[in-house]
Amino acid sequence: MAGRKRKAGKRTASGRLSRAAVDCFDRGTAQAQAMQVLYGTDGADAIGRAYRMGLLGQGNEAKTLLDTARKVANLYWRAYSTGSYKCPLSDRSGGSVVELDHERIKRGEEWLRETLQIARGMGHNVSSSFDQLVIDVHPDSGPAWLDRLCYAVRCGVPSLADKKRLREALDALEAISR
């Protein structure tokens, strides 16, 4: 009989391939699984990793700093991103037709501008530390001083320089969240 060869594998009583032993969920690499255990859902950004390690403080104050930092980052990248992806095979770009609330967007950009002025007004070192912790994209690791602090929380003594960088970033974040 001509046709397609039969696929190998266990079969059900009806003759179909059994899907019982198939693990369809990709859990990622060993490093990704370790990050998930360590940081949970907050491991995708630097501020989330700092929050999970207790570096932002405790309780509602830490949660407020986390929420404020994520609001700043979201507004920053919405305002300063370079635009949508354009396909090289077509002259159209992807997206949806959603009615925009221009007043809300303008209020968000104004708040972001004031926020960044507060951070910039505190000096270059504070501004740099704030940017590294809140604005810069660090999905898996970084900045280096935060990685060292997170490691020190689990099994070591943090360096004074790393603690100073965190304190600078938190000073700006606390001034903004008031």
pLDDT tens by residue, 71-86: 999 999 999 887 666 6
The angle that helices 59-80 and 102-121 make with each other, rounded to 10 degrees, is: 110
Is residue 94 assigned to a domain?
Answer: no
Is residue 97 assigned to a domain?
Answer: no
The angle that helices 102-121 and 160-177 make with each other, rounded to 10 degrees, is: 140
Range of the domain at 118: 32-81+102-177
Domain total for the chain? 1
The lowest-confidence range among 10-24, 59-73, 150-164 is 10-24
Is residue 165 assigned to a domain?
Answer: yes
Find out whether 148 and 49 touch, Cβ atoms under 8 Å: no
Is residue 62 assigned to a domain?
Answer: yes
pLDDT in tens, 158-167: 999 999 999 9
Is the overall model pTM greater than 0.85, yes or no? no
